[in-house]
Structure formats: C-alpha cells, structure tokens
Amino acid sequence: MAKLSRIVYEFLDGPAVCESIDVPPRPPPPAPALPRALVAAAVALIAVGAWDLMVEPSAEAKEPGKAKGTFEFGCRVQAPQKFLERRSFLRGGALDLHKHGAAVRYMAERYGNVGDELTARYNKRSAPSQARSTRFFGLPITVHEKIAPALRCVEKRIAKTCTGASSYTPHVVGGLRTANTYRGVEISNHLFGVAVDIDPDRNPCCGCVDPWPNNPACKIQGTVWKRAALPKCWVKAFERSGFDWLGHDTLEDTMHFEFLGDPDRITR
C-alpha cells in the first residue's frame, strides 16, 4: 500500500498538518475481449503498414509541421506530461491521492526533495541545493539547474516569434520558493524550482485565496485570456518547451508556468 507520510507545511496563515493516509492500490480492470472482426482488421492494417495511422502520435509529433525529436532554439520541442498537470489529479475540488502521489514522486526523483519526510524518501538531495541563478528577459530568477536551458529557449522563441501585437515586457519574475503556498498535502512546483511566475499584478490567480480574486482583472467577464495581460504567443512559446500554463487550470493562475516535460531530454 502506498503511504503518504505525515507532512507539516508552512502556509500564509499558519501550519497545516496532514496525517498519514493509507491509499490502497487500484487493481487494473480486466481487459475486454476484442471482437474477431476488429482483430482481423488490425492484423490487416499492420500487414500493409497502416497501423501508425490509427495510433495517436506522441506529444512531440503532434506539433504542427514538426517531426518527432525536433529541436528549436536549442531545445527539444515537447509537451507537458499529462499525468503531472494539476488538473489531472485535482477535479471538482477533490484531490486524487494516488495520482498526486505519482506526480510528487516523479518530481522528487528528478529534482530533489523539498525538505519533508515524503520527498526525502525518493531523493536524499534537496531541490534548493540544485538551484541556480539566471536571468529571464534581463530579470534575475532562481530555478532548478535542469530547467534553466528550457527557460533560455523559451526566451529565444519569444524574442523571435512574439512581436508586434504579441509583444510583452515583463517587470517581475519569480522562481524557486522554500515555503509551500498550497493548502493540505498538495505541493507547489515552486518548491522543486521548476515553476515561474510573471507579473502577478498583471496576471492574477483569480481562483486562489484572498487577496488574489480582488484584482480588478478578475472581475472581467469572458475567457481567461481577458483576465491575463500575457499574450497567447507567450503561452504557446512556453508550452513548446514542455511548460504548462496554470491559466488552463481551475485556479486560473495566469502568472504561473511550470516545466512538466522530461528534464533529461531538453537539450538532447
């Protein structure tokens, strides 16, 4: 049985405690028997080399006009991994502990622990010890050393493709943090050093706790794009390098990007 350890986190309004929870593994459902006609059709497709036409392409291959393994501006074109996206394990306000635990383990194994008992089981080295200072559009920011190359590629892509009406000048950026900003057992990816915030005053988190929803932009009706100053071109540039934008999340955290791609395949 997977076991979530007792964790104490610091929040803006004081510590929150999560007691140990035993989460029984979910047995896989039995595979349904395939109709003979469907099996025969699949065999025929394989025989003529057409099976690939029926298989969903990888995240990289889905990029329009780009072959799998394409590199742009020095980095591999890759999409965020779906199982790491916050909306994949938090639906309707309910946290799926099994899916969330898998995401936390992945992040800890690749980036380091965040100073708690649970992530230290997966990696003895801390994430902050692997942080490095860099610059993003001339602004200082601290991120995990593994994703610094991806951030540089994002900047190059934005500088090249986001011009005219899609241009934007950031004034404040934030990266690594040592205090968790989520309540309960959820862990912010800022603790791993893989998240970036851009101009919180202009790109608010309308689904967060007070005072964020009081931002005037959160009163604007319409799509999330109307409540964010960041242009779509910037979001697309981040997403092509494996970052996920939390403007797509129920939080509508429009300032926030987090690298959810494969850190071992950024530059190779």
For 139, phi then psi, to 5°, come to -100, 135
**How far is the C-alpha of 99 from the C-alpha of 133, rounded, in Å?**
32
How many structural domains compose the chain? 1
Give me the pLDDT at residue 185, please: 85
Give me the pLDDT at residue 64, please: 43
Reported as a pLDDT band with limits 50, 70 and 90, residue 153 is very high
Integer CA distances (angstroms), 30 to 26, 27, 40, 47, 50, in order? 12, 9, 22, 28, 28
Q: Name residues whose C-beta falls within 8 Å of residue 98's C-beta, 6 or more positions apart in sequence.
A: 2, 23, 25, 26
Give me the pLDDT at residue 129, please: 98
Amino acid letter, 97: L
E-state strands within 106-162: 131-136, 139-144
**How far is the C-alpha of 30 from the C-alpha of 10, rounded, in Å?**
43
The whole-angstrom distance between residue 3's C-alpha and the CA centroid of its chain comes to: 24
Q: Is the peptide bond prior to 35 cis by the omega test (within 30 degrees of 0)?
A: no
Asked if 193 and 142 touch (Cβ cutoff 8 Å), the reply is yes
Integer CA distances (angstroms), 155 to 73, 120, 125, 133, in order? 9, 33, 29, 15
Give me the pLDDT at residue 108, please: 98
**CA–CA–CA angle 240, 242, 246 (5° rounding):** 100
Is 113 within the bounds of a domain? no
Reported as a pLDDT band with limits 50, 70 and 90, residue 182 is confident
Reported as a pLDDT band with limits 50, 70 and 90, residue 68 is low
Is 88 within the bounds of a domain? no
pLDDT over 60 (residue 13):
no
Window from 30-39, 152-161, 192-201 with minimum mean pLDDT: 30-39
As a whole number, mean pLDDT of residues 40-67 equals 36
Is 100 within the bounds of a domain? no
As a whole number, mean pLDDT of residues 20-44 equals 38
Written as six digits, the tokens of 188 are 């912010």
pLDDT over 60 (residue 15):
no
What does the CA dihedral 209, 214, 219, 220 come to, rounded to 10 degrees?
A: -90
Window from 26-30, 148-152, 169-173 with minimum mean pLDDT: 26-30
pLDDT over 70 (residue 155):
yes
Give me the pLDDT at residue 195, please: 98
pLDDT over 70 (residue 40):
no
**How far is the C-alpha of 31 from the C-alpha of 45, rounded, in Å?**
22
The whole-angstrom distance between residue 259's C-alpha and the CA centroid of its chain comes to: 5
Give me the pLDDT at residue 96, please: 94
β-bridge mates for residue 173, sequence order: 198
**How far is the C-alpha of 252 from the C-alpha of 233, rounded, in Å?**
17
Give me the pLDDT at residue 172, please: 98
Is 32 within the bounds of a domain? no
Q: Which domain holds residue 62?
A: 58-81+131-265
Q: What is the CATH number of the domain that holds 150?
A: 3.30.1380
Of 216 and 35, the one with more pLDDT: 216
Q: What is the mean pLDDT of the chain?
A: 80
Is 102 within the bounds of a domain? no
Asked if 155 and 237 touch (Cβ cutoff 8 Å), the reply is no
Is 123 within the bounds of a domain? no
pLDDT over 80 (residue 44):
no
- Classify strands 173-174 and 195-198 as parallel, antiparallel or unpaired: antiparallel
What is the DSSP annotation of 6-73? PEEEEETTEEEEE--EEEPPPPPPPPPPPPHHHHHHHHHHHHTT-GGGTSPPPTTTTSTT--TT-EET
**CA–CA–CA angle 25, 26, 29 (5° rounding):** 150
